[in-house]
Amino acid sequence: MEIGGSTRLLAVVGDPVAHSLSPHMHNAACRALGIDAAYVALRVPARALADVLGALAAVGAAGNVTIPPNHRVPGVGTIVEIRYLYAFRESGCLYQPTYLGPRSDVTERECAVVQLKYKSDHEEDES
């Protein structure tokens, strides 16, 4: 893989993140498909998350957040509860999902992104 000025940055962020296999899988896929991108793991403490996500978005980077290693990975199709710590109203982007666990008390039909609630501008100023 040759990294140059047009290479797109892809990242998995978290704390911890060293356990993630995402860079290995995604870099292999990018090479196989001829995609000019480099996928890296970035250890990002919670206090720096908003700044890092803003910087990544500003340079056109993309990626995901890893599940903490102290949770079992849920099976395909499992309904899980996620709390998003950051949601940018302007772009509709959701960042830093916190995995809370599987849910057996709701159906798939009851789950929708439209349920997302944004803090009011007033609440954000007080934080």
pTM above 0.85, yes or no: no
pLDDT digits (tens, 9 = 90+) for 11-63: 988 888 888 878 888 888 888 888 899 999 999 887 787 788 788 888 888 87
Residue in 61, 73, 79 with CA at minimum distance from that of residue 12: 61
* Class in CATH terms, 8-126: alpha beta
Inform me whether the pLDDT recorded for 108 exceeds 60.
Answer: yes
Distance CA 118, CA 34 (A): 38
Q: Is 67:73 a contact under the CB 8 Å cutoff?
A: yes
